[in-house]
Structures are given as structure tokens and as C-alpha cells.
Amino acid sequence: MIDPVAPQQAFNWRLAHVGDIRLGLATILVLAACGLQAHPTGGVQSGGLGGRAGSSGHATGGQTAASGGQTTGSGGQTTGSGGQTTGSGGQTTGSGGRTAGSGGQTSAGGASGTGGKSTATGGASAGGSSGSGGASGAGVTINGKFVPKEKAVVFIHFGHSNMRGAATTPTSLTSYFFNTEDGLWSYKGSFTLAQEPTAPQAGYTSAGPGMAILHSARGAVATTSDVQFISVGYGQGSATTVDYQKSGSYYPIFMGWAGQLKGNVTFGAIVIMLGVTDGEHLASNLVPGFPSRVEQLVSDIRSDLGEPNLPVLFCNYEQNATGQYAITGAYGTVMVPLIKQLPGLIANLVLVPTDGIEMQDNHHFDLQGHKDWAGRVISLMQSNNWFPWK
């Protein structure tokens, strides 16, 4: 806001004589105008062009003000559309503070010429803060407390019976899966403290990987972090990629919940357990279409959420399955080659290894198996710069 100078004061001003010459009125007005202190439109940390969140990851302009932060005279601290600029010779940061490409926190080359830290494609765009600038102002209320969008991180996880879960042992891990913990939430139309089953099918009360994913995510941030991790999960025994298509039975269920949160949370990743059931339950002529169905499914989710780069963590074929489910069995020999096609077909998709995973039976993980597998999910997100939360 411009601090006006009262007109009557302007006309009363007098300047010192230069010899016998007194400066005229026009000169006085020019000098008076040069002495005005103007504050640009927008205050400190108002989320216009700058701020904390970008279109994916951290926004262009670091912690900047809308059209400009604080300005002190002609040599104070000015925050324009990014960075810190000091009057006539201070510290200048080019285009602005921390700048992300498509996201993440992996520097594309250290400090960049145009300002701050610049990050490469593939990180926080897929899992970081979103918005067009500033702390977005969006968020959700969880247990009576407002949580900013940037700190409400959602994992969408779905799939067949392994996602629904069949795990009950070892009992030493029962509390890890079935006890609640503040900061770990489930959303199915409303927020509740998460506990297994997080991807429930009617009539089943055993554990899948949902709680292990949330615990692993919590373990990857500082103990003082106030990031809230949220499960949006759905599992169905014997379900195939046909059942999970947008036109199928289950997509509207989990995506209905996710859609209610769109714009007010940060979607961290899509976690999928599908594969063996296509080989077991579909007609043989439909099985080869598995990769293209997964591609379409991921494309639809990303499109409906407005998150074109959202990471996908896809469960590799269960290496320790036995009998007809073994990798050398009737289903494994068909599905393993098809699953291996997915990373080359879908951007930002990685296969989560299953080797060494403990089993509850001939093709379901036990509690230790889910814990170990979920740890691999988060580790892969970190190594791919898809986990920017601290």
C-alpha cells in the first residue's frame, strides 16, 4: 500500500538555497515523489505466484509473496515473483527460492542459475505438494484439526486377495497391524484411525499391506514431523484387471473415496496388487491383454485425480508362492512375462520385489511379509525421488 503524503504538507516543504536560487515547485514535487515508500501488492507469504507449493512439488518462487513481499524504501528487501532481492546491490536469487520441475527433492544439478534448488522431473509432482503457488490454503479436517493439503498424504492401494489380506501371523506383529496410531488414517467417506483391514472385503478381518505402508511412510520422516499419512484402500478376492477397470465393479468404490479428497490432499502413490488372478480367473484369450488393461487403469486414475505423474508401485509376481501359484506353475509361467512389461509401458511405474517375502499360505503374504514388502514400497519411492516428505 502506498503511504500518501498530504498535499498541504507537500506545498509547505522547503529546500535549502543553492547559492541564491530556490528550487521551483515542479522540482519539489519530483523529489517528493522519489521519496515515497511503496509496498507492492500482496503481503508476506500470501500464496500468489510464490509460496511453498507448486504445480507439482515446490512451487516456482520458494517462500515468496503474491506479487511481492516486503519492500523497504529503495533498498530494502523485495520479494517479487521469487527469491530475495535486496534494493540496489543486495543478495539476488534469480527466478526464485526452491523451484521444482515435476517434483521431488533431487537436485538436477545443485543450485541453479535461475534460482534456488531446482529438481528433476519425477519427484514431488508425483507425490509432493501441489497447487499453483503458496501454501495452497486447501486441506482437510481430521479429528477436528485442520491439516494443510501439503501435509495430508494419501496412498491409494487396491487389488486382489493379497491386498485385502489373509495375514494373521506371526502374532508378535499383531499390534503393528491392528492397533491405531495418531497420524495414520483411513478414509472411506470419513476419516478414522487406520487399522487392519485397511482394504476390507465383507466378512474378512485379517491383514493386508495397508497399515504396513502407513507405518513405513511414518518411519521415513522425522519423529517430529506433522505429516499425516492416509490410506484409501480396497481389496477383493479373485479380482482381476477386468474387474478394476473404470467400467468394472470396483473402480467406482475406491475412486469415489479418492475423488472426495481431490484438491484437498496430496496423493502420494498408487499401490497395486494384481496379476496372478488374471491368469487364474480370466479366459485364456483375455490374459494377454493384462498389460494394456493395467495401462488403461493407471491412466484413468491419474486423469481422474489430475495427477499425470502419480507414481505406481506394482507388486511383482509372488516369488515364494507354491503349487499351481508358483512362478513355474500354470499361472506364473503366463503372468510373470506380462508383469515384466509394465515398467516399459507405464511411466513412473516400478515393480516391488517379492523375493524373500514370508507367506501365510501358498500365495498370500503373512504379517512379516506385508511389513517387509511395504518397506520396499517406501524405499523405492525414496530412491526414485517420489518421497519428498521430511
Burial 154-184 (b: 16+ CB within 10 A, else e): bbbbbbbbbbbbbbbeeeebeebbbeebebb
What DSSP element (H or E) covers 334? helix 332-340
Residue 256 belongs to domain spanning? 139-383
Q: Is 275 within the bounds of a domain?
A: yes
Residue 209 exposed, middle or buried by CB count within 10 Å (0-12, 13-18, 19+): buried
Whether the link from the prior residue into 170 is cis, omega within 30° of 0, is yes
CATH number of the structural domain spanning residue 222: 3.40.50.1110
Q: Which residues contact 117 (CB under 8 A, 6 or more apart)?
A: 98, 99, 105, 107, 110, 111
Could you tell me the pLDDT band of residue 136, with boundaries at 50, 70 and 90?
confident
Q: Is 160 within the bounds of a domain?
A: yes
* Cα end-to-end distance, the chain, whole Å: 37
What whole-number percentage of the chain has pLDDT above 90?
A: 65
pLDDT per residue as tens digits for the range 79-134: 333 333 333 333 333 333 333 333 333 333 333 333 333 333 333 333 443 333 34
Q: Is 79 within the bounds of a domain?
A: no
Number of domains forming the structure of the chain? 1
Q: Is 213 within the bounds of a domain?
A: yes
Q: Is 115 within the bounds of a domain?
A: no
Among 13-27, 80-94, 105-119, 227-241, name the most confident range: 227-241
Q: Is 303 within the bounds of a domain?
A: yes
Is residue 187 within 8 Å of 261, Cβ to Cβ? Answer: yes
Q: Is 159 within the bounds of a domain?
A: yes
Q: Which residues contact 344 (CB under 8 A, 6 or more apart)?
A: none
Q: Is 304 within the bounds of a domain?
A: yes
Region 250-269: mean pLDDT is 98
Region 169-182: mean pLDDT is 98
